[in-house]
Amino acid sequence: MAMQAKLLRFLENRRFMRVGGSTKIQADVRLLCATLRPLAEEVAASRFRADLFYRIQGITFNVPALRERRADIAPLLSQFLAQLSARHGVQPPRLTRQAKSLLLQYDWPGNVRELRNVIETLCLLKEGRQVRPADLPAEIRRHFAESGPDPIDERTSKLVLDMGDGLESLTSQIIEAALQAEGGSTVRAAAKLKVSRRTLQRHIASGRVRVPAQPQERVKRRRAP
């Protein structure tokens, strides 16, 4: 409260005195204030001076938490991956669909700062390599483990998609997820997607689908009589 009184005095006359100084200095400044707490409630609870509150209550912007503007997460991911990998002189890591899906669904209690720190850690520890759900920070994996069915478990057969990716990209994402869930088996992936194996292979041959390492598949054939 004592500091609030000093700040209010400065805002009234725009003059201050340095610590250890003997003369007052005139200042011409623009004040920007930021808070995580609702100041009106702080005033009601006598933790913030009402006169200071009304003094600084000019043009006010409300910046929602990152979890309330999820559309911003994807472009921030791309920006931080490019920016931070360049800053540290490393190749940017490659997020798998599952890992990116978890990052897009996470609530980010630390907002943009927390997102940036996570991406910077991945850039340093997973330089140029693939980032899977198991590579994400423990608190993110713990969050999903405690909130219900684990999205890391590919047996759930659920995939979070962004409609803005376009039809071709969405199709590729679905095929990649099915192949990943079935260990690279095109036979089982085609059965899961309820399409023929030939249709699946045609999409793979287009080059738009990243195929995981495929095990050898044994196809039973009838012996000639």
pLDDT per position as a tens digit, 136-176: 998 998 888 876 544 444 444 566 666 666 788 788 888 88
Quote the pTM value: 0.54
Q: Rounded to whole angstroms, how far apart are CA atoms 210 and 219?
A: 23
Report yes or no: 189 and 178 within 8 Å, Cβ to Cβ. Answer: yes
Looking at residue 78, what is its pLDDT?
93
Looking at residue 217, what is its pLDDT?
46
Domains of the chain: 2-56 (no CATH), 66-153 (1.10.8.60), 162-205 (1.10.10)
Q: Rounded to whole angstroms, how far apart are CA atoms 122 and 137?
A: 9
- Helical ranges in 46-110 per DSSP H: 50-56, 73-88, 97-105
Beta bridge partners of 131: 95
Q: Rounded to whole angstroms, how far apart are CA atoms 27 and 5?
A: 18
Q: Rounded to whole angstroms, how far apart are CA atoms 163 and 218?
A: 37
Of the pLDDT bands very low, low, confident and very high (cuts 50, 70, 90), residue 212 is low
User: What are φ and ψ of residue 146, in 5° steps?
Assistant: -90, -15
* CA 74, chain centre distance (Å): 6
Helix/strand/coil for 131: strand
Looking at residue 215, what is its pLDDT?
45
Name the more confident of 215 and 80: 80
Q: Rounded mean pLDDT of 177-198?
A: 84
Helix/strand/coil for 16: strand
User: What length is written for the chain?
Assistant: 225
- Whether 24 has a pLDDT exceeding 80, the answer reads yes
pLDDT per position as a tens digit, 47-95: 999 999 999 988 888 889 999 999 999 999 999 999 999 999 999 999 9
Q: Write out the two tokens for 155.
A: 């047996």
Q: Rounded mean pLDDT of 11-37?
A: 90
